[in-house]
Structure 1
Amino acid sequence: MLVVLAASVVLVAVTILVLYETLRLTSEHLAELPVPPRWRIVAVVLAAFVGHTVAVWIYAAAYWLLVLRLGLGAFSGVPIESFEDCLFVSVVAYSSLGYGDHAPVGHARLLTGVEALNGLLLIGWSASFTYLAMERYWPMHGKARARRAGKAHRPADGEPGRERLFPPATGT
């Protein structure tokens, strides 16, 4: 139990660092990308997806080592016999999907529970990061269109692009 508990703490720390570095590098280099704002937002989503994929693979490696190789815990249901099976368990746990094909038994219950909580927090973190990127780059779509049309239009409230997202209310 102590081995799995220690592994859980290490896995949480490592996956937090992986996502932190992924988002930090994305943030540092996003403005330098020579692409329209739309593709910058796509780059943020793809970078977050890569960070989460790495985290899932890290947990899958832990399942492979702890459950398949060291025998610390097990899974009931469909047999887990390969790394690919461990990867499936990790995706299901990380995303809190919970298909039910594999039910953790013994010490594996702690590891899958920690992974689910960790995934929930990291997915929320990347969602807020994506929101901040969208908040920054979304209004630039309107600016680019206005420049192409040869007119710089700024609404009365001073927020470029706001009229597209929140059109003025019509009379009642």
Structure 2
Amino acid sequence: MNDTSRIPAFPSIEAAPAASRPLLDAVHAAFGAVPNLFRVAAHSPAALEGLLGLHGALGKGAIDAATRERVALAIAEYDGCRYCLAAHAWLGARLAGLDADEIAQNRRGRSHDLRADAALRFARRVAETRGHVGPGDLAAVREAGYGDGELVELVALVALNVLTNYLNEVAQTDIDFPVPAEPAAA
């Protein structure tokens, strides 16, 4: 372990605890590499399993991949997590097809897509209020066509991203994605 983070990333799958290795193998199979976030989380096989389980379950949910990446960007910006900003800007562009302007908007908790914009505004309110959203917040996201199941998923996406943001900030995880430029002022 030779990185500069406060909780170092394991340098290889083989160096991780035995219970984390099959989970890291699955990450490698899915991504073609094992990002440092997962190498850090591997210190706790239980935490890594929980993180991957929630990520995998939400990937099968009603919220599409582009909106999941948008939410991740909005929450990473809100929390100030440079690692997650880099990771989700890269993933948003490469896997979800988001362009640079959309990514900049997403970081502000906004989107050019009206439905996604409502989801991002709601997700930011969930983070800002620590879940104490008001009736108007719920009405606005419902008016955009989100049902109760999707609202639950949006809250779960906020929680998942808060988890990864906080872990990366505590660990000061070395960023292994291209660092995006700061968005221009709105």
TM-score tier, shorter chain, comes to 0.3 to 0.5
More helix by share: 1
Q: TM (normalized to structure 2)?
A: 0.32
Q: TM (normalized to structure 1)?
A: 0.34
More strand by share: 1
Greater RCO (CA < 8 Å, at least 6 residues apart): 2
